[in-house]
Homo-oligomer: A and B are copies of this chain.
Amino acid sequence: MDIAVTTELAIFSVQDGALRVLLETGATDGLPKAPFPGDADLDRFAAALLSRLTGFDGVYIEQLYSFGRRSQNTAMTGVTVAYFALIPPAVSSTVRSGLYWQPLNENWHLPNEQREVLELATQRLRDKLGYSSIALPLMPEEFTLGHLQEVYEIIGGEALDKRNFRKRILSLAYVEETGRQRRNGSHRPAMLYRARNPGRVEILR
């Protein structure tokens, strides 16, 4: 009656203007996963796997869903526990070799069960954008409000009004000024902000 349990991760990051998911190269490319040994805590195991894959520690990870009897095609049966994680724009060196960042707005092949996980994860991300500070784990330590708005727009898939966006974000007090500025190109420099509670995603309302 014992069963193979697999942990599967949908790891997101926003890079070069696109929401991307981390894929593992292999026989068929797919979401990174590992067999769960059973002698550890599931959530801790997933977090450790995330850290091993990306080099990031203590970043956002959340359990998504558990599936029984995945992949009806293959003979393999078992239980898959899917997680979804968010990491800041990665310096390329931090990600382990054999992994790459796949933009979500392109079309590419992914096994059906993994596509289901991925869609569930992106849906969750989009939903939480509206009632939590879920975007912050995707940001670098310091960022401008313009950059934050860009991330919201990339995930949400629609343009936002700048004034309303800033009003809302500042009233929610997710973020605070660092006092420093970023001078970027040939234009007015922008104030830099940071998360008020780094590593903590807060729910609103």
Contact = CB atoms under 8 A, between A and B. Distances in A.
A3 B37 CA distance: 8
- Which residue among A38, A45, A78 has the maximum number of chain B CB atoms within 10 Å of its CB? A38
Contacts of A67: 42
A176 B39 CA distance: 52
Contacts of A172: none
Interface string A64-78: 011111000000011
A68 B7 CA distance: 11
A3 B40 CA distance: 12
A2 B69 CA distance: 14
A38 B63 CA distance: 21
Contacts of A39: 69, 77
A79 interface: yes
Contacts of A81: 66, 79
- Which residue among A5, A40, A43, A65 has the maximum number of chain B CB atoms within 10 Å of its CB? A5
Contacts of A66: 42, 63, 66, 81
B79 A42 contact: yes
B36 A68 contact: yes
Given A3-B3, A38-B69, A79-B79, 20 more contacts: A1-B38, A2-B4, A2-B5, A3-B4, A3-B36, A38-B68, A38-B78, A39-B69, A39-B77, A40-B68, A40-B69, A41-B69, A42-B66, A42-B67, A42-B68, A42-B79, A43-B68, A45-B68, A63-B65, A66-B81
Smallest CB-CB A-B distances: 6 pairs: A42-B68, A2-B2, A3-B38, A66-B66, A3-B5, A41-B69
8 contacts: A1-B4, A2-B3, A2-B5, A3-B4, A38-B68, A39-B77, A40-B69, A42-B68
